[in-house]
Amino acid sequence: MNATVVTAVRRHSLVWLAAANAVGVLLAMLLLWPELNDPLAPLTYGRWVPLHLDWQLYGWCALPLVGLLCGYFLPDDARAATTARLALWVWSAGLLVGGLGWLRGNVGGKLFLDWTGGDRDFWAFAGLVLWASLAWQALRRTDIARWAWAMLLALGAVPWALHRAGSPESFPPVNPDSGGATGASLLGSTLGVVAIFGLVPWLLRLPAKPDPRARRLYAAGFLLAMALFAGINHGDASHHRPDQVIGLGSLVIWLPLVWYYARSFVWVPASRRWLGAAFVWWCLLVVTGWLDFLPGISEQVKFTNVLVAHSHLAMAGMVTSLHLVLLLNLGPARAPTARSFWLWQAGCALHVAALLWIGWREGVEPGVLYVRGGVADICYGLRLLAGMAMLAASMHWLVTLGRHASDTP
């Protein structure tokens, strides 16, 4: 992969991670000291939330995957590099335009689909520019597998789908006909993550170890899991139904299988600690996600900070660790220090633990969030400290990985 593209992907990815983390720290301060909203008005808590959520998802969580696609589909030359860097700037411009619109109060109300009006059109245009850039330059390569071409063609529908989903006419921000996530929907979304991870080593073109059993077992397990997914109820099913509980619980088979599969490829040495961390967070995510879904527990934690903790376990824990793996395997790099690795992991663990603590308490005693000087302030204070630690770590990664690949010793 062209060194300038590698550097551009890392910089754009980590800039949005740091920016979203900075907004997260501000939000944590506003939760701990609500009176700070007064001097900030009209840029109060609700105006900043979309920036934190969407910059994390479409900035940090998306751009390392874009780098993965660039590494596989783009030729290693200056022509492709120019096209890729332009597409990245347009994508980042879409995030910036969206952020300015949200601060003005132009929000559609749909979680992670907050673009409205002309901002929504520009965001779809940014996605189309990125896809067209990949497809155009990929035509110059002769070593792209058929499955990869099929995947690239399918990705061409994503900008249109996001634009359509963000429309006020497509579906309401709050669906009155839905009781929430079902075992089937959670199983399906998690199997999507399993599928993406299965493709990662191939898109990175990592050397495979001689023994193919792990890769065959992974493929067979995925086919069986899809068969199970197809066989359980996909409607508005209760979490008391055995097929929903068993279906979601079947994800535990992926705990050893994912690690066995990952070890069948040769990863860059500097990325291995991040791969291990991603696996630990993955195990916690699967187990706690199933426990949260069980009857009796779900009723207590639904709509509490326990679910917020679970989402941070997924995004700040598993996804962030995995994306550092991607960025380090895209090309030569000066790896972040072990200190920043542990700073992030400790901060994330503290963040999740504090939210679990207050979430479980509010499930039993909802009024606990409205009492100043109590457990809520303690948990929100710990959350703020954790967020500051993760912000510091992300800034370090930007300085370290943001250097040009040619500067790497």
pLDDT tens digits along 94-109: 999 999 999 999 998 8
Least confident of 213-227, 267-281, 361-375: 361-375
Place 279 in a pLDDT band, splitting at 50, 70 and 90.
Answer: very high
275 located within any domain: no
Asked if residue 344 is part of any domain, the answer here is no
Structural domain that includes position 150: 1-171
Q: Is 308 a residue whose pLDDT tops 50?
A: yes
Q: What share of the chain in percent tops pLDDT 70?
A: 97
- pLDDT, mean of residues 273-288: 96
Instruction: Count how many domains the chain has.
Output: 1
Give residue-wise pLDDT tens across range 10-37.
999 999 999 999 999 999 999 999 999 9
Q: Give yes or no for residue 409 having a pLDDT over 50.
A: no
Residue 406: pLDDT band with limits 50, 70, 90 = low
Q: Check whether 171 has a pLDDT greater than 80.
A: no
Banded pLDDT at 179 (limits 50, 70, 90): low
Mean pLDDT, residues 151-169 taken together:
93
**Separation between Cα atoms, residue 302 and residue 296, nearest integer Å:** 11
Q: Look at residue 119 and tell me if it is in a domain.
A: yes
**Percent of the chain topping pLDDT 90:** 81
Instruction: Please determine, for residue 389, whether its predicted confidence score (pLDDT) is greater than 50.
Output: yes
Residue 246 lies in a domain: no
Cβ proximity of 319 and 337 under 8 Å? no
Contact 156, 130 (CB under 8 A): no
pLDDT at site 407: 58
Q: Is 104 within the bounds of a domain?
A: yes
The mean of the pLDDT values for the chain is: 92
Residue 126 near residue 94, CB atoms below 8 Å:
yes
Whether residue 118 is contained in a domain is answered as yes
Residue 15 lies in a domain: yes
Residue 79 sits in a domain whose CATH number is 1.20.210.10
Give residue 176's pLDDT band: very low, low, confident or very high (50, 70, 90): low
What's residue 173's pLDDT? Answer: 77
Question: What is the spatial distance between Cα 241 and Cα 228, in angstroms, rounded to a whole number?
Answer: 15
Considering the domain boundaries, does residue 3 fall inside one? yes
